Amino acid sequence: MPHYRMPDGEQLFVREFGQGKPVLVLSGLGMQSWQWLPFLYPQARNNKFIIPDWRGFGGSHHCAIPELDAISSHWRDINSLTEQLQFDKFSVIAYSMGATTAMHGMQYGHLNEQLNRYLHIDQTPKISVDATWQYGLLSRQQPEFKKLLTEISDLLAFNAPARLLSELNPAARQHLLELWLVFIQLQSSNKVTPLLFQLALKQAKLQPLILPIQRLDYLAWYVNNYLHHNEDYRHAITQLSCPSTFFIGEKSRLYPSTGQKIIANSVKNSKQVIFKKSGHTPLISEPIKFAHEIAQFLKNSA
């Protein structure tokens, strides 16, 4: 699999497979490109998939952290990638943080003009909550969420020399894991502590498994991104001129489905696919339906 040189000289890993019309796939936070294979590989005969691993993950885990915030950095990387691939037009599948990156490109770049078709998976156009938008990240629970992120950010900043969880002193390591557990429970309707967490709090060998990112400097970078991200992409996404599809998790606690439907309804040439049994992860909660709807989206892109 190839690596592409980014503007700061780092080598971004990009998984490419298939043949046909190009489809750029932008993953959610914590994902790696291989996790798309069960859904996309069956469609490889007629589609050329391009799936970058974000900095800090998979084949891009060695990339340096730029001075930019995570979303601005991701868009700069994607813009550089598409320029190198020399695509005039392409389709985009964008999930969660990947959708935020796509909307950033619509607002600050020319992504809208490059799109043949767009698939938006469970994301809000405005993460922050205020008087004009009540459907941001965790909605009414956002103050509690931001307080938690601030605690995590402060803990990581105080222990900045540590690059890995194992390098934290026992007290700091335990505190970070306990804060992360609160974060997991805040976004889940199931308040029962997962068994893995129960074991990891007592067994050091299991502790790295419960964090989405092994490098603490990267964890801090992403935490601070969600803590301070105040962009509003509502106008940008409503300007979409290509056919667009919105996958919406009806039970999503992270991004209330009501807000997602408002935005989908504001896009002229769009359709909605509601995953009634799913929250923020329809590819896990309803994998068969997810695979079917991905196939339908790609079929319509032909």
What pTM does this model have? 0.94
Higher pLDDT, 197 or 16: 16
Q: How many angstroms from the chain centroid is the CA of residue 69?
A: 14
- What is the model's pLDDT at position 272? 98
Cα-Cα-Cα-Cα torsion 279, 94, 212, 6, nearest 10 degrees, comes to -170
pLDDT tops 70 at residue 192: no
Q: Which residues touch 142 (CB under 8 Å, ≥6 apart)?
A: 128, 129, 136
Q: Give the separation between CA 171 and CA 277, rounded to whole angstroms.
A: 39
Q: Which tokens in the block code for residue 117?
A: 């078709």
Q: Which tokens in the block code for residue 107?
A: 């607002």
Contact of 68 with 104, CB cutoff 8 Å: no
Contact of 240 with 269, CB cutoff 8 Å: yes
Query: Where in the chain are all domains bearing CATH 3.40.50.1820?
Result: 3-126+231-301
Using pLDDT thresholds of 50, 70 and 90, give the confidence band for residue 265.
very high
pLDDT tops 60 at residue 189: no
Q: Which tokens in the block code for residue 273?
A: 């696919």
Report in angstroms the alpha-carbon separations of 291 from 32, 210, 245, 299: 17, 27, 14, 12
Pick one of 3.40.50.1820, 1.20.200.10, 3.40.640.10, 3.40.50.2300 as the CATH number of 3-126+231-301.
3.40.50.1820
